Amino acid sequence: MMDNIPMIAAAAGLVGLVIAFILYQQVNKVKIDDEKVASITKEIQEGAMAFLVAEYKVLAIFVVVVGAVLAFLNDVETSIAFFAGAIASVIAGFSGMRAATSANGRTTMAAKTDGRAGALAVSYNGGAVMGLSVGGLGLLGISLVAYWLGAGDDGSNLSAAAGFGMGASSIALFARVGGGIYTKAADVGADLVGKVEAGIPEDDPRNPGVIADNVGDNVGDVAGMGADIFESFVGSIIAAMIIASNSEIMGVDYVMMPIMLGLIGYLASIVGVFSMYRSQER
């Protein structure tokens, strides 16, 4: 049974990603019929995605260089796992950012038409997309890497899976710090130019610095935080698996146990998402 855990976890991850996509579609079904809200939402979303694209272009160079160094100093398996972790982290950041920036204005419209219950449903679904994407990509990625490295056998080459966690950590580091620097710089600029020089109230959308500040908040708190959580999730699983594989007392079942525990937690999260959905219907 434990030998099949990687494939079961990978399948659960795929199911979770499908559910995340469905929730994203549910968020987008909410119509924004206010031109001002639609304009602000569009500007923030376009700015956030443009920032991520620009940041990831630079990070791509870093990832390629580090991956080549890992292949030279360690082995090709570690390098491939490193690339897989970085790509999964990037996908999680993109999906979460897209959902969050879409849910922002739609939460406002839902609050206007359906009150607090409608606003909670939209905002919860928008956040659930990021959560399910992080967990799903983490389970899918580490399960496939573990299966590829033969974790269900003797686990002798499992140390290469550390590259997956390193790839995720690399993206998390720059996404978190880059988004934080961006939003603080935009915040200070908005205050200096808007409130001090132009006399525009704080958080007034007429001030471009305010839009940039909101872009930075989304980048740092959504994409950056999501990549950070993704790194912590897969890193803890990988560390426990490597410790178990290097132990003379623990067997193969213990190597698979971290993935199994992650699978149980992820399934519980999916149930939690649907329980919230059911409570909103009532």
| Residue 64's pLDDT band (cuts 50, 70, 90) | very high
Give the residue from 121, 159, 87 showing the smallest Cα distance to 273.
121
Residue 56 scores a pLDDT above 90:
no
pLDDT, residue 149, reads 80
Residue 257 scores a pLDDT above 90:
no
Q: Which amino acid is at 107?
A: T
Residue 77 scores a pLDDT above 70:
yes
Residue 117: how many CA atoms within 13 Å on its side-chain side? 8
pLDDT digits (tens, 9 = 90+) for 3-26: 678 889 999 999 999 999 999 998
Q: Label each residue of the chain as H, E or C.
A: CHHHHHHHHHHHHHHHHHHHHHHHHHHHCCCCCCHHHHHHHHHHHHHHHHHHHHHHHHHHHHHHHHHHHHHHHCCHHHHHHHHHHHHHHHHHHHHHHHHHHHHHHHHHHHHHHHHHHHHHHHHHHHHHHHHHHHHHHHHHHHHHHHHHCCCCCCCCCHHHHHHHHHHHHHHHHHHHHHHHHHHHHHHHHHHHHHHHHHCCCCCCCCCHHHHHHHHHHHHHHHHHHHHHHHHHHHHHHHHHHHHHHCCCCCCHHHHHHHHHHHHHHHHHHHHHHHHHHHHHHC
Q: Cα-atom radius of gyration of the chain, to the nearest Å?
A: 21
% of the chain at pLDDT higher than 70: 91
Residue 65 scores a pLDDT above 90:
yes
- CB atoms inside a 10 Å sphere around CB 115: 10
pLDDT, residue 173, reads 81
Residue 186 scores a pLDDT above 80:
no
- CB atoms inside a 10 Å sphere around CB 261: 13
Q: Provide mean pLDDT across the span 162-181.
A: 84
Tell me whether residue 219 is exposed, middle or buried, using C-beta atoms within 10 angstroms of its C-beta: 0 to 12, 13 to 18, 19 or more.
buried
Give the residue from 204, 183, 228, 220 showing the smallest Cα distance to 100.
220
Q: Which two tokens stand for residue 226?
A: 């999501």
- CB atoms inside a 10 Å sphere around CB 59: 20
Residue 228 scores a pLDDT above 90:
no
Residue 156 scores a pLDDT above 60:
no
